[in-house]
Structure 1
Amino acid sequence: MSQTEFKLPRMGESITEGTIINWMVQPGDSFEEGDIIVEVGTDKVDNEVPAPFSGTLIETKYNAKDVVKIGEVIAILKASEGASKKDVKNNIEEEIKTAPTAKKASKVVPKQSGAVSSTYQVPVNRTNKFYSPLVAKIAREHHISYEELARIPATGKDGRIQKSDVFKYIEEGRPAQFAQPVAEAGYSIPQLNLDKGKGKIVEMDRMRQMIADHMVYSKHTSPHVTAYIEADLTNMVNWRNANKESFQKKHGEKMTFTPLFVEAVAKAVKDFPMINVSVDGTYIIVKENINIGMATALPSGNLIVPVVRDADKKDLLNLAKEINELAEKARTNKLKADDTKGSSFTISNVGTFGSLMGTPIINQPEAAILATGIIKKRAEVIEKPEGDTIEIRQMMYLSLSFDHRIVDGFLGGSFLRRIADYFEDFDINRKI
């Protein structure tokens, strides 16, 4: 039986590359159809890639920690005598039918990024800021903003940046990632040798590195503005306390605050559709679906964002079922790529950790993110027709970080106020 190329299959609609975590089968080892050949990590979750047929692993093309594009040949397999050529071809085509068909790109292994070379000159007079679709695609895959693209020296005609310019810049370790252009000729950005202190050295795991990269990318892409508001959750808290046991007894599902928050936020997003957007160059994409992401802590301490799709179309019971299922998957490290893709707005419940409020970082490419603080009893002045009274109320701070490129203060403030209104106007007599 002839040898067959084994390509990295697509692992989600938005996934363009993966990191080889571990080869489960070594060269020379045999395997059965369905056996896990390799573990691959993406910016969402880890995936196990099964064998498309029975056979032997002849050669691996990449090592652990290597970053591989979807559709790249990662190994050479030899099918066992029992598998026909037609079966092997069909199985392989099924594995890679949605993978890119572009020519194999040269593998880019960047040097350590974050520091700016003391001799690196940031271009300040570039007038040609046209970027081809290929250059824009490479930039997105490597989390390079348009602002950073403008700092890359261009060698193309009329000052146009080329693919080779971007790859060369990445190979150099993205030396201008945090630099600002300076107009004075001959000025070099200084290399700051800061004292980082002494102590135990702990290497970031792969997911923490990706989170760090994603957070830095978000802060350097979107001008963040954070607005705050206070909401009276007394009705919501009293209703949940009165109905959580009967809800679980009747439906077999726990009633946490999360589905109540998601329900209210989805309604507010529907009222203000320009919050449910993303930026694509000079265009704004207004999303058709309201998919709410929930920032969730994993057992490792890392953060992941499971997604409740079409949250505005689901009743409270279905929201509770889906949220409980996603939370359980997160706790047991069983989330799949499809569970974490496609969010259009994210909620981060910092109150879970006892925080009064937070200043969340936008989950790119979304336009805004909500942080819900701890629910705390406090004496409040309540205005009534017969006069003011002081009562014990269940209060919570809400904070909304939004991308000021596309969301102004009026929209951000109005949207945040609408969420608080839905929280405060919760029906205390609502049936379960």
Structure 2
Amino acid sequence: MSTAVVLPALGESVTEGTVTRWLKQVGDTVQADEGLLEISTDKVDTEIPSPVSGVIEEILVAEDETVEVGALLARIGDGSGAASGGDAPAAEAPAADEAPAQEAQSTAAPAENEVEASQASDQAQAPTPAASGDATDVVLPELGESVTEGTVTRWLKQVGDDVAVDEALLEISTDKVDTEIPSPVAGTLQEILADEDETVEVGAVLARIGSGAPAAAAPAAEGPAAEAPAPAAEAPAPAAEAPAAAAEAPAPAAEAPAAAQQAPAAEAAAPAPAAPAAEAPASADSDSLYVTPLVRRLASQQGIDLSTVTGTGVGGRIRKEDVLKAAESKSQAPAAAAAAPAPAPLEVSPLRGTTQKMSRLRKVVAERAVASMQQTAQLTTFVEVDVTKLAAFRNAKKDEFNQKTGAKLSFLPFFTLAAAEALQAFPIINSTVDGDSIVYPASENISIAVDTERGLLTPVVRDAGTKNIAQLAQEIADLAARTRDNKLKPDELAGGTFTVTNTGSRGALFDTPLVFLPQSAILGTGVVFKRPGVVTVDGVDAIAVRSYVYLAISYDHRTIDGADAARFLGAIKTRLESAEFTANLGI
């Protein structure tokens, strides 16, 4: 049995890596933790070790190829797979030099053998049906240090469906997070090995993806080829053209052997030998325009046509920074051209009048909310903050900030920094209750509430008290984007000591946020709005247009008194109203 080698998580914001050099080759014997290959990312160059001892049977990613975290890199087994895999090219080489009839027969033989193997496997009811020689296993990747298994909640693709690289295949649910598992390669979904509601361990094979039809469809293709072998032998020209077509389109290299094997059968079934060759360039064109789901969703949200964006990533791949830059250029268009039409009427939801089962995430949130209200004594304190100076400071710095960091300068990083500083001065707000003891953490790990289609999630900004505005803005934006795109690791949702929820992002003035155990407090930030306010100029009161925000802190009254909450909010109010953040910008 072979073991899959996948690209592990290489950092909180690293989503992909480029293979710079393979240290081992197919057939080499490796020891556990011995270096297999070198990977380069935007932040670090590192070696990927072997998870087990054995023989490298297959290498699935070429040098200079960029792959996503969790992608399948290689397979390691007892050597049997490498032997069979290594014999195939050697057998094909002399066939290319022999007569055309012999070439056609040699290419047809592997297809027939695979069909017979598939039939024999089905008759024996083996737990792992045979797959074609170019099939790639889709395995359950690591989803966090403490996560060992996951439950298949829904298959997004079915057997026979075509999938692209990084296109979502299925949804997996764990104790900590629900996420999508992407396809490591482009091809056709040939087998599904884990049913919905089935629980599987990390590293288990979930499905197989190949370049041909599913194994169940192979016998149907065999019939015409077996009935008419002569025409296949009499027409070697299209078979000879297949390698040429493959050479002209190096991107789908993994599909070349399957195309060569299927050429004789296709000629016997129908007189259209040029069709397979014509499909290869189209596949290459579609792959060259591929972007990750995160970038595609971001482009949709920003209203950006990806065909107009020039990618700056490896191989010309479009990155999220490219989409953000295009969105910024679009927003700077003349106001007359950006005139918005009248708002469309609200659409009637298809959920109206239906009954739906709660999702796993909604059940967890519901249970935790009820437990929090039953086990704690919660109340909320409000304060009004004049952020006129802060608004002016932000407007003066936001363009420079965006150019130097690539992140937008919103009010949230300022609120988060002020809260982290206040937590250091008033640690009772950052504390947790353990029996009859109060635990004061040594760091300020601030959970940021993120609204997603699946529900509310709270990824954690760790050691927020040690970071500047630029670091906070970039990390909050990264966490929010990966949360909405199911790219978070479970560990990134754990360990928070205090929460900030920006209810003002949807226009709310304020609310009374709910504290979730084991935390003792949560800060709600309302929308920043303008209204007339009283100011004192040269000792004289006057009315002026000012910018305000309401801050609300909900807290556990078992350990936090109202005076503690008021002092905490007062410290944040003073910090924000002074707007002295020049030294904290980080640019």
- Counterpart of 1:44 in structure 2 is 177
Q: Which has the higher contact order (CA 8 A, sep 6+)?
A: 1
CA contact (8 A) 2:193 2:205 kept: yes
CA contact (8 A) 1:297 1:304 kept: yes
Aligned-partner residue type, residue 209 of structure 1: K
**1:237 alignment partner, one of 366, 371, 391:** 391
The alpha-carbon deviation at position 15 of structure 1 amounts to 6.2
C-alpha distance in structure 1 between counterparts of 2:368 and 2:564, whole Å: 25
**What SS class does the counterpart of residue 407 from structure 2 fall into?**
coil
CA contact (8 A) 2:179 2:486 kept: no
C-alpha distance in structure 2 between counterparts of 1:395 and 1:268, whole Å: 20
- Equivalent positions of 1:219-258 (< 5 A) are 219-258=373-412
Aligned-partner residue type, residue 462 of structure 2: R
1:236-285 alpha-carbon deviations (Å, 9 max, x no partner): 11111121112112332211112111111110111111111112222222
C-alpha distance in structure 2 between counterparts of 1:213 and 1:23, whole Å: 27
Change (3 A) 1:266 1:376: same
Is it true that 1:207 corresponds to 2:340 in the alignment? no
Aligned-partner residue type, residue 46 of structure 1: T
**1:363 alignment partner, one of 502, 516, 526:** 516
Deviates more, 1:280-289 or 1:222-231: 280-289
Change (3 A) 1:48 1:286: farther
CA contact (8 A) 2:169 2:180 kept: no
- Give the TM-score normalised by the residue count of structure 1: 0.59
- Counterpart of 2:463 in structure 1 is 310
1:306-351 alpha-carbon deviations (Å, 9 max, x no partner): 1111111111221122112112212323222132221111011111
CA contact (8 A) 1:38 1:50 kept: no
Change (3 A) 1:312 1:296: same
C-alpha distance in structure 2 between counterparts of 1:422 and 1:75, whole Å: 53
Aligned-partner residue type, residue 408 of structure 1: D
C-alpha distance in structure 1 between counterparts of 2:555 and 2:145, whole Å: 25
Larger of the two Rg values belongs to structure: 2
- Counterpart of 2:546 in structure 1 is 393
C-alpha distance in structure 1 between counterparts of 2:372 and 2:467, whole Å: 30
Aligned-partner residue type, residue 539 of structure 2: E
Change (3 A) 1:283 1:11: farther
The alpha-carbon deviation at position 425 of structure 1 amounts to 1.5
The alpha-carbon deviation at position 20 of structure 1 amounts to 4.3
**What SS class does the counterpart of residue 540 from structure 2 fall into?**
coil
- Counterpart of 2:488 in structure 1 is 335
The alpha-carbon deviation at position 217 of structure 1 amounts to 1.8
Structure number with the higher helix fraction is 2
C-alpha distance in structure 1 between counterparts of 2:445 and 2:388, whole Å: 27
- Equivalent positions of 1:178-197 (< 5 A) are none
- Counterpart of 1:117 in structure 2 is none
Aligned-partner residue type, residue 371 of structure 1: G
- Counterpart of 2:423 in structure 1 is 269
**1:347 alignment partner, one of 500, 504, 508:** 500
C-alpha distance in structure 1 between counterparts of 2:487 and 2:362, whole Å: 18
Aligned residues with identical type, % of pairs: 37
C-alpha distance in structure 1 between counterparts of 2:169 and 2:408, whole Å: 38
Change (3 A) 1:362 1:19: farther
- Counterpart of 2:239 in structure 1 is none
CA contact (8 A) 2:171 2:181 kept: yes
C-alpha distance in structure 1 between counterparts of 2:464 and 2:567, whole Å: 21
Change (3 A) 1:256 1:217: same
Name the count of aligned residue pairs: 296
Aligned-partner residue type, residue 364 of structure 1: L
CA contact (8 A) 1:351 1:372 kept: yes
C-alpha distance in structure 1 between counterparts of 2:443 and 2:571, whole Å: 19
Aligned-partner residue type, residue 551 of structure 2: L
CA RMSD, 1 decimal: 3.9
1:400-423 alpha-carbon deviations (Å, 9 max, x no partner): 000111111111121122112211
Change (3 A) 1:428 1:75: closer
C-alpha distance in structure 1 between counterparts of 2:571 and 2:199, whole Å: 43
- Counterpart of 1:285 in structure 2 is 439
The alpha-carbon deviation at position 288 of structure 1 amounts to 1.4
**What SS class does the counterpart of residue 200 from structure 1 fall into?**
coil
CA contact (8 A) 2:361 2:454 kept: no
C-alpha distance in structure 1 between counterparts of 2:149 and 2:538, whole Å: 62
C-alpha distance in structure 2 between counterparts of 1:74 and 1:429, whole Å: 51
**What SS class does the counterpart of residue 334 from structure 1 fall into?**
coil
CA contact (8 A) 2:498 2:522 kept: yes
CA contact (8 A) 1:269 1:276 kept: yes
C-alpha distance in structure 2 between counterparts of 1:388 and 1:294, whole Å: 39
CA contact (8 A) 2:430 2:440 kept: yes
CA contact (8 A) 1:46 1:336 kept: no
1:156-179 alpha-carbon deviations (Å, 9 max, x no partner): xxxxxxxxxxxxxxxxxxxxxxxx
**1:21 alignment partner, one of 130, 150, 153:** 153
